Amino acid sequence: MSRGTRLVAWTSTAEYVAVGELLYSESPQDRHRGVLAVKAWRARARVPAAVDATATLVELQLSDSTQPVSQQRLTLSMALIRFVNSILDLEQRTTVAQSMAVLARRVGMPAWFVELRHACTHEQVPSLRVLRAAHAHALVWLDEHYWRRQTRALPEDTRDRVRAAVAEYVRARDTVKAAATKRNASEFDAAKAALVALTGVLHSDAVGAHVVRVLLEPGVLVPTDKRMRAKFPECTMPSQLARQSTSLLRLLADVWGESVLYDELLSAICSALVPQSSEGGFEPATLGPSHAATLVAWVRWILDKHYQPAGSDTPSNVSVDDLLETCLRNPGYYSRAVLKAVSDVDPALGRDLRPFVDYMGKALAALAAADARPVRSTVDAEEMRKEEELMQT
């Protein structure tokens, strides 16, 4: 799960797009230049699995075919194994490993890629003709499922476009709910189609970079009306908020899959709630109490709907590993609330977390009592009182 600024190997968006075009050029010289560029990127930083796989496959395409057939088969089979493993391993987010076939369906990879990988690994290596055909299909798949979508995800106004599409969806949804006329229903259908059309061409990286950021802005998953928000200490999801938001989340989950959407939502919520401290101290949070309580309520809701404890027969759509690590490394009022939410959903894990939750509570109480420093995340009592009065009016 990604958080904050991400280090990339390319110097600009233009360079990234240009290298992608070189790798898929008709000219062997251009493709060779694309491979060299990716090799330079590898020396600078870690490159995405799809970029690495593309460069490897293109390099093999350009390599000398005078080697013995057995050597060519071995080289191509290893490249295809690495291609399938590197793409599908990114989807392995649960504590219980899921099968390659399940992961392939999630990302839209043809099942025969997985079968070919199995044959290359555990059975007789396929013929050179089959391997070359698979090699060509792999490059086509990477182009359609990574490069084309990633290019669409790069424009600087992407978040503004997503924000506008989501706002129109919310407006049309509320309008048709207030008056279910034929015209309003038609506008709502158009808003849904426009949102799907926009988000459907974005690469999954754009979910965390743009889409979930918009969802967490006031007015979507966090109501602008504070009376509709959750509140501490219960952080219970308001039923009206859950009802009106479920259709939007279901729509986006149909586009990318539940695992991608809800993993990225958990990541973004954690980033908003839990300040990143290099010293591991008790850092102040920057969100107001009702905003934070609503985000904690969404953590609880996502885990309740899409998380399965370790040892469960049902695969989990989301993982809590990164969530737990961030909260434990950055103790505070809100991180403690997140750990309590996880404990409520997974009682067995909660027993292991109990000492840490108790420690955070005692440490925060001691800090507040001693007034060692202003701790925003302990929530100002007067502000809490005013918000509760507003909610009751």
Tens of pLDDT along 259-311?
Answer: 888 988 998 898 888 866 433 344 445 678 999 999 999 999 999 999 988 87
Gap between the Cα atoms of 119 and 100, Å rounded: 13
- Side-chain-side CA neighbours of residue 293 (13 Å): 22
pLDDT digits (tens, 9 = 90+) for 196-215: 888 877 766 677 778 888 99
Q: What are phi and psi of 218, to 5 degrees?
A: -55, 130
**Closest to 316 measured CA to CA, from 92, 2, 88:** 92
Q: What are 198's two structure tokens?
A: 């926009």
Q: Is residue 4 very low, low, confident or very high in pLDDT (cuts 50, 70, 90)?
A: very low
pLDDT reported for residue 281: 42
- CB-based contact 390:382 (threshold 8 Å): no
Q: Where are the alpha helices (DSSP H) in the chain?
A: 13-23, 28-44, 49-62, 69-89, 100-107, 111-122, 128-142, 148-153, 158-178, 182-200, 205-206, 212-215, 239-256, 258-273, 289-306, 321-329, 333-345, 347-370, 381-392
Biggest CA-to-CA distance, the chain? 81
DSSP, res 127: P
Cα 280 from chain centre: 25
Q: What are 70's two structure tokens?
A: 């057995």
**Closest to 114 measured CA to CA, from 92, 87, 96, 136:** 87
Q: Give residues with Cβ within 8 angstroms of 37, minimum separation 6.
A: 15, 19, 22
Using alpha carbons only, how large is the chain's radius of gyration in Å?
24
Q: What are 98's two structure tokens?
A: 């899921």
187 has pLDDT over 80: yes
What is the mean pLDDT of the segment spanning 8-24?
Answer: 85
pLDDT reported for residue 371: 58
pLDDT reported for residue 284: 45
Query: Following DSSP, what letter does each residue of 298-311 receive, concatenated?
Result: HHHHHHHHH---TT
Query: Following DSSP, what letter does each residue of 311-332 receive, concatenated?
Result: T-SSPPSS--HHHHHHHHHS-S
Query: Is pLDDT larger for residue 146 or for residue 3?
Result: 146
83 has pLDDT over 80: yes
pLDDT reported for residue 205: 64
pLDDT digits (tens, 9 = 90+) for 224-245: 999 999 999 889 999 999 998 9
**95 to 150, 313, 319, 351, 356: CA distances (angstroms):** 29, 12, 7, 18, 21
Gap between the Cα atoms of 16 and 41, Å rounded: 10
Gap between the Cα atoms of 218 and 214, Å rounded: 9
Three-class SS state of 218: strand
Find out whether the peptide bond into 110 is cis, omega within 30 degrees of 0. Answer: no
Q: What are 310's two structure tokens?
A: 């370790």
**Closest to 78 measured CA to CA, from 63, 93, 90, 91:** 63
pLDDT digits (tens, 9 = 90+) for 31-82: 999 999 999 999 888 888 899 999 999 999 888 677 788 888 888 999 999 9
148 has pLDDT over 90: no
Q: Determine which of 115-124, 266-275, 308-317, 378-387 has the lowest per-residue pLDDT on average.
A: 378-387
**244 to 221, 358, 376: CA distances (angstroms):** 9, 35, 31
Question: pTM higher than 0.85, yes or no?
Answer: no
**Closest to 1 measured CA to CA, from 216, 209, 225, 296:** 209
